[in-house]
Structure 1
Amino acid sequence: MINTKYFSIGISLLALVIVLAYVRYADQKIKSYENVNRVMEDGSIAPADLDESLMQPSLAISFDLPASASFSGEAVPMELPDVRERLDKELHVNTYWHNNTIFLMKRAHRWFPQIEAILKKNNIPDDFKYLPLIESGLMNDISPKDAVGFWQIVKSAGKENGLEITDQVDERYDPIKATEAACRYLNKAYKKFGNWTSVAASYNRGMGGIERAIENQNVSSYYDLYLNDETARYVFRIIACKEIIEHPAKYGFNVKESHLYNPEPLRYVTVNETIPDLIAFAQKNGTNYKLLKRHNPWLRDEKLVVKKGKTYRIALPA
C-alpha cells in the first residue's frame, strides 16, 4: 500500500517546484520587456510610457439628460417620460460605443464644413448634417438593401433626385453630389409634412410610410407616433449624436484637435472626352490609382466613357 504520509510530502514538494518554476518564468518574462516599469495587479505588463490616466479603472457613468433638446429648431417634448427614456438610451449607447463615436468626431471635422455649406445653400437646417453621420458614419458604405454612400441612397431615389448611376459612374459615392441630392429629397418632404422632425423620420421610413402612420394614428407629431423600432429610434439617434459632438467633455470624450481628420488639399481636372485607362490617367497627372479612387469614389470602373456634351470634374491631390 502507498504510504499516505510520504505521498502527501511528495505532492507538496511537486507543488512547490511548480510554483518556483512559474515565479522564475514570470520574472524572466518581465525582464524581457525593455520598456516595462511595473506589472499590473492582474499580471499584465504596463509599458513605461503608458499614460497614467489609462491605468485607472474604466468608469461607467449614468449621465444627466439635457434640460432641453431640439432638432432643427423644433423642441423635443422632454416632459414625456417615454421621450426622456428614448433619448437617454441613445445618449448612453453612443457614449459607450467609444471607438465608433471617436471616429465619428474625427470624420465630422473633415466633412461637416462642406455638408453645412450645401445645407445652407438649399435652406435645410444645419442639424441635418447629423443624418449622414448616423446613416453611414460618413463612409461610403453599402447597406444590405443596396443603399449607397454617406447618405445611404437607393438607386431609384438617387436617379429621382438627379444623380447619375451607371456601371462606370455612381454619384451616390460622391459626398458632395449626394448631399445635393439629399437636399432635394428633404425639401420635397418638408413641403409634404411642414416640420423638419417628420422630414428626418421620413428619410428612414420613407415619405409614404410616415404619411400613412400619421393618418392611421390621427396624430401630427413624430414623438406621438407608434413606429417600427428603427424609425422610432432614428431622430433620437440624431439628437444624441448632436448632443455628444457639441458637448464631448460632458460625455467623457477628449479628442485632441491634432487627432481630427482635416480636408485634404485637392486640385480639379475637367474632362470632356473618354479616358480609356484611369490608371494611366492618374499617373499622367502625377498621382496613382489608389489616390484617384480615394478622392473620386464615384468612378466605378478602370475607364470612363464620356458621352458627347458631357463633362466630369475629377479631384486630384494638390
Structure 2
Amino acid sequence: MKQKKILIIAVVLSLCFGFGAAFALQKLNWFESKKVNVFEKTRQEAAGIKWQNKIDTGMRIEPLRISGEMTFAGETVPLNDPEVFERLDRELQINAYWQSNTLLTMKLANRYFPAIEKILIEEGVPADFKYLPLIESGFRDVVSPAGAAGFWQFIPTTAKHYNLIVRSDVDERYNIEKSTRAACTYLKNAKEKLGNWTLAAASYNLGLSGMMNRCETQQVSDYYSLLLTQETSRYVFRMLAMKVIFSNPEAAGYNLTPNDLYQPFNYKTITVDSSISNITNFAAEFGLQYRHIKLLNSWLRDNYLSNKERKVFEIQIMQ
C-alpha cells in the first residue's frame, strides 16, 4: 500500500513539473526558434584533417590520432615537423580526454560561436579566432588571478585602452560584442606589426612587445620556430586542438545530438541613454526578472546603471 502511494505521488509530481516547465517555455521563449549547429560548418573548415581512428567510449584508452594538412587563420601548420606535431598531439590528448570541460565547452560554443564569428568577419579577422575566447574563458564569465575578465580576458588597463568601460556598475569586458570588437582591434594591429595571424594569436597571451622582442632576438618570424614560455608555446596549439576536435566530435568520442547543444538566446535590443535607478524594476517593465536581464547583460555589474554622460547603451531583452 505504501509503495502504491509513493508511486502515485511521484506520477503527480512529474506531471506538475512537466506542466510547469511547458508553461515557463510558453511564457518566455528564451531561445531562437531555428536550431543552430556549429559543428557542421567546422567539419568543412577542417576538411584537410584525416582521422586515423575514433576514440573508443568503452574502458580501453587509446590516443587520438590524426594526419594530413592543417591551417590556422589560413596559415599552414607545419605538421611535418616532428616537434610541431608532438606539441599539437599533447593538446589533442589533453582536451579529448578532459571530457567534462570539453563537453560543456562544446555545448556553450554552439550558443556563442555564431555571434562571435559574425563580428570577426565584419572586422576582417579570420574565423579561426573564435577559438581564442574558447581557450581563454570557455565562454564563461571568469576572472583570472591577474584580474582579467570576460570571454576575451581583458585586464582593466588593456580594456580601457581599447575604449571598454570598466567601473563598479558597468564592465564592458563582459559585453560580448564590444569585447570581441576590442579583441579584433588588438589582433589586427598585432598582425600588422608581426606579419602573420599566428604570431598575432600567440601575442594575445605573451603581449605584443614581448612577442616582437623575441622575434627580434631569435631572428625568427614564425610562431612554430620560436622558443617561448611554456604557456605561450602551448597557446596556439590549444586552439588548434579544439579546432580538430570540433571538426569531428564523434571521432574524438563526443556524441552530441542537436538537442544536446545550447541554443543562442532569442532577444531584442533596446537602447538606453539615461540612468537606471533600479534594474529589478526596469526588468519588471518588460515582464522579466532581474536574473533575465543579467543573463544577457552581465556587463551590468550592479542593480543600477549610472549614466550622467548620457551615453548610449544597448540592453538585450529576452523575448
With the shorter chain as reference, the TM-score category is 0.7 to 0.9
After TM superposition, give the deviation of residue 140 of structure 1 in Å.
1.0
CA offsets per residue over residues 242-298 of structure 1, 9 Å max, x none?
010011122111111111011111122222221111111111221011111111100
The CA distance in 2 between the partners of 1:157 and 1:308, in whole Å, is 22
The CA distance in 2 between the partners of 1:270 and 1:91, in whole Å, is 43
After TM superposition, give the deviation of residue 310 of structure 1 in Å.
1.4
Corresponding residue of 1:161:
162
Amino acid at match of 1:74: E
TM-score of the aligned structures, taking structure 1 as reference length: 0.81
Unaligned stretches of 5+ residues in structure 1 = 1-33, 35-55
Matches within 5 A, 1:200-211: 200-211=201-212
Corresponding residue of 2:213:
212
Amino acid at match of 1:208: S
The CA distance in 1 between the partners of 2:107 and 2:196, in whole Å, is 30
| 1:317 maps to 2:314 | no
CA offsets per residue over residues 3-43 of structure 1, 9 Å max, x none?
xxxxxxxxxxxxxxxxxxxxxxxxxxxxxxx9xxxxxxxxx
Q: Max radius of gyration: which structure?
A: 1
Corresponding residue of 2:59:
58
- Size of the aligned set, in residue pairs, is 264
Amino acid at match of 1:296: N
CA offsets per residue over residues 97-128 of structure 1, 9 Å max, x none?
01111111111111111111100011100100
Corresponding residue of 1:295:
296
Which structure has more relative contact order (CA 8 Å, sep 6+)? It is 2
Corresponding residue of 1:102:
103
The CA distance in 1 between the partners of 2:277 and 2:114, in whole Å, is 35
Amino acid at match of 2:208: M
Cα 1:246–1:57 change in 2 (3 A) is closer
CA offsets per residue over residues 43-87 of structure 1, 9 Å max, x none?
xxxxxxxxxxxxx84231112223222111111111211111111
After TM superposition, the runs of 4+ consecutive aligned structure 1 residues lying more than 4 A away are: none
After TM superposition, give the deviation of residue 306 of structure 1 in Å.
1.2
Corresponding residue of 1:126:
127
The CA distance in 2 between the partners of 1:92 and 1:285, in whole Å, is 47
The CA distance in 1 between the partners of 2:70 and 2:215, in whole Å, is 23
Corresponding residue of 2:184:
183
The CA distance in 2 between the partners of 1:166 and 1:207, in whole Å, is 26
Corresponding residue of 1:234:
235
The CA distance in 1 between the partners of 2:177 and 2:219, in whole Å, is 38
| Matched residue SS, 1:269 | strand
Identity between Structure 1 and Structure 2 (%): 44
Corresponding residue of 1:174:
175
The CA distance in 1 between the partners of 2:312 and 2:199, in whole Å, is 37
Q: Say if 2:194 and 2:221, in contact at 8 Å, map to a contact too.
A: no
Corresponding residue of 2:25:
none
Q: Say if 2:274 and 2:310, in contact at 8 Å, map to a contact too.
A: no
Q: Say if 2:171 and 2:300, in contact at 8 Å, map to a contact too.
A: yes
Q: Say if 2:135 and 2:239, in contact at 8 Å, map to a contact too.
A: yes
Corresponding residue of 1:145:
146
Moved more, 137-146 or 57-66: 57-66
The CA RMSD over aligned residues, in Å, is 1.3
Corresponding residue of 2:10:
none
The CA distance in 2 between the partners of 1:139 and 1:243, in whole Å, is 21
